[in-house]
């Protein structure tokens, strides 16, 4: 009998986030991975892959992950108390942001999480784990779009209720979200144009660079396709900036969008992470910075009592504040996106409109922050977790398979 413990993403990332040195654990996993499979366990390889991803050794991590998945495609994270609900997550091999991080949402709960990894190399196994509800956790990315299209057909007659239609996830490209949300009253979703590298090289030389033929002006923002967390993201102030940008970024395709100045009246930039659970908004976090490229880890929240105080007020008064002000806009956004669970990164413009940076089913909403420094966060995040569990509980009593309203045509790639 296999007695190997599977730590999983949430536990390992939390320990890393808190600054714990996991070198000893990594060495132990390496030793166990060198044993025969029945002794070391595929779980060991999967945990070791997570640790390597956290340390930035992505190529090695991907190799170990595939070694594990060739041994076994299904992994179980037990409930921390008597299990009351079994959730099957349909996942794809990849880096840590490749899937909806469900482990954080069901952590310390009565939900038993079964992770089933599939890909063109890893077809559905002959036996599917018993479960009450299934959820498509595969995130939107260039390489996952064919799989998402295939899943759309495979899940129509699934024997259990399914959350997050894969075709809707496939629509979460930056240009797709902009088109989906275009024209919604009170919402600004800057149009994103996919541009190949050779076109940008032409723009670097010619005066009619991005938008000039349509009378648009600089600045614009550019990022590589499938990039997140500010990787390769830059604001281009004028045509000459393309040459430097291309010299620093070797990718072959990019998204280019108009830059929207979302500074508040005090000159600071505020960025919000909002989880929509069955259309109901919940606060994930708020980051404040004097720089336009705002991420929670670079906003200086830990070092500023004033910023934490403002975030505390935002979270504690979310329902009567942000959620009430943006209620109509958020409802229209959720209806347009059509997902049971999705996370928005957004801001409020000075005229009150909601600016959408990104809609993503794979963004992390977590309770990792130290309670002594962020005492206000745990109650807010627990609301997300409770709403997520209630969504699963409600879903288990619905008809199996995907809802009729989300059964698209066979070709759902357009």
Domain range list for the chain:
8-163, 191-258, 269-360
| Mean pLDDT to the nearest integer, 162-187 | 96
Question: Cα dist. 128→73, 88, 123 in Å?
Answer: 10, 9, 11
Mean pLDDT of the chain: 89
Supply the DSSP symbol for 195: E
pLDDT higher than 50, residue 306? yes
Range 52-60 average pLDDT: 93
Cα 370 from chain centroid (whole Å) = 22
pLDDT beyond 60 at 136? yes
User: What percentage of the chain carries pLDDT values higher than 90?
Assistant: 73
CATH number 3.30.1490.20 is the correct assignment for the domain at 191-258: yes
Distance CA 306, CA 310 (A): 6
Q: Are 149 and 166 in contact (CB under 8 A)?
A: yes
Q: Report the percentage of the chain scoring pLDDT > 70.
A: 92
Q: Is the pLDDT of residue 338 over 80?
A: yes
**pLDDT tens digit string along 177-236?**
999 999 999 999 999 999 999 998 888 776 545 545 444 478 999 999 887 777 889 999
Q: What kind of architecture, by CATH, is found in domain 269-360?
A: 2-Layer Sandwich (3.30)
pTM, to two decimals: 0.91
- State residue 411's pLDDT score: 36
Rounded CA separation 164/389 (Å): 15
């Amino acid at each position: 009998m296999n007695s190997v413990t599977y730590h999983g993403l949430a536990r390992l990332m939390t320990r890393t986030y808190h600054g714990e040195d996991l070198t000893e654990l990594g060495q132990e996993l390496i030793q166990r991975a060198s044993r025969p499979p029945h002794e070391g366990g595929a779980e060991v390889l999967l945990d070791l892959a997570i640790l390597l991803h956290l340390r930035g050794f992505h190529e090695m991590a991907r190799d170990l992950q595939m070694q594990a998945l060739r041994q076994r495609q299904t992994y179980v994270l037990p409930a921390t108390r008597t299990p009351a609900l079994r959730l099957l997550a349909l996942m794809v091999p990849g880096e840590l942001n490749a899937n909806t991080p469900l482990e954080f949402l069901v952590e310390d709960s009565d939900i038993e999480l079964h992770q089933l990894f599939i890909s063109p190399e890893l077809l559905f196994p002959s036996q599917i784990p018993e479960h009450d509800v299934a959820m498509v956790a595969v995130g939107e990315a260039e390489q996952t779009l064919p799989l998402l299209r295939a899943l759309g057909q495979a899940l129509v007659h699934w024997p259990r209720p399914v959350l997050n239609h894969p075709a809707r996830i496939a629509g979460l490209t930056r240009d797709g979200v902009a088109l989906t949300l275009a024209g919604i009253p009170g919402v600004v979703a800057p149009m994103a144009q996919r541009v190949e590298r050779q076109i940008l090289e032409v723009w670097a030389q010619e005066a009619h660079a991005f938008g000039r033929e349509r009378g648009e002006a600089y600045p614009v923002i550019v990022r590589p396709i499938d990039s997140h967390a500010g990787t390769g993201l830059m604001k281009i102030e004028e045509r000459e900036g393309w040459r430097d940008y291309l010299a620093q970024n070797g990718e072959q395709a990019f998204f280019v969008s108009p830059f929207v100045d979302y500074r508040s009246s005090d000159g600071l930039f505020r960025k919000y992470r909002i989880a929509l659970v069955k259309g109901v908004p919940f606060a994930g976090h708020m980051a404040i910075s004097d720089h336009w490229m705002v991420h929670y880890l670079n906003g200086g929240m830990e070092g500023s009592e004033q910023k934490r105080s403002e975030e505390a007020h935002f979270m504690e008064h979310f329902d009567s504040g942000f959620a009430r002000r943006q209620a109509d806009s958020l409802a229209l956004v959720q209806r347009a996106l059509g997902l049971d669970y999705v996370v928005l990164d957004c801001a409020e413009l000075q005229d009150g409109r909601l600016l959408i940076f990104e809609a993503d089913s794979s963004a992390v909403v977590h309770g990792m922050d130290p309670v002594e420094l962020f005492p206000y966060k745990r109650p807010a995040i627990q609301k997300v977790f409770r709403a997520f569990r209630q969504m699963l509980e409600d879903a288990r009593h619905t008809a199996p398979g995907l809802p009729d309203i989300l059964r698209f045509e066979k070709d759902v790639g357009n």
